[in-house]
Structure 1
């Protein structure tokens, strides 16, 4: 069961395994770095925004990338060790969401209404690999608001 506070996580039991939830609909497992290092630091304000976006979309959002440790990000992204997925003091403030077509356009509209200031669009190739990047960064290395394509 999810506990509706930002400071307290509670386990959800699925198939005998405990799943730790960050918000009502997003788990630690789906947000953590894919390299296996265990990095899972997400900014809770960003997670609240992501949860609100999910509720406004009224559908599940499949996360393809949340947190990335600096080493993993330097392998998979041209942004190197300082990319938007790399945790800052507050945690990571970025996610890539697998989505395409009209749903992708709707996601961008809803995300902007919730204060998302960085939007990256990848809508080429197979639909299963298309995604929208969203973030709330705002620093000298990541001037916002902005939008880009991959």
Structure 2
């Protein structure tokens, strides 16, 4: 189905400004595939890669994982952000960057564990 993995296509992660930046981490795709299998439902990518200009436009932090292609802001139909966040936290307790927001969850594959609420 997808060109990055069974369920994910490169265009889902491409920078929303139209610049074409789409260098997404295979490790992130693997983590998202695990969640896709765990929930047995499609994951929607709100935001994947960001170029520096788009990151500034959306007031992203200067060292955003989105700039490195290692992050995605995601939703899952019928699943609250709290439930989605808790699933990732319980399956990857010593890894990932996880941010819980009102309408989505940020997931990244940074080298150390990080947790926050936005």
**Bin for the TM-score computed over the shorter chain:** 0.7 to 0.9
What pairs with 1:53-72 in structure 2 (closer than 5 Å)? Answer: 53-72=35-54
CA distance in 1, matches of 2:53, 2:82: 32
Question: What is the TM-score when the length of structure 1 is the normalising length?
Answer: 0.68
Give yes or no for contact 2:14–2:48 (8 Å, CA) kept in 1. Answer: yes
CA distance in 1, matches of 2:107, 2:116: 11
| Structure of higher RCO (CA pairs closer than 8 Å, 6+ residues apart) | 2
CA distance in 1, matches of 2:43, 2:24: 17
Query: Shift in Å at residue 148 of structure 1?
Result: 1.5
Over the residues paired in the alignment, what is the CA RMSD in angstroms? 2.1
Q: Does 1:111 align with 2:93?
A: no
Task: Please say which structure displays the higher CA radius of gyration.
Answer: 1
Q: Which runs of 5+ in 2 are unaligned?
A: none
Question: What is the TM-score when the length of structure 2 is the normalising length?
Answer: 0.85
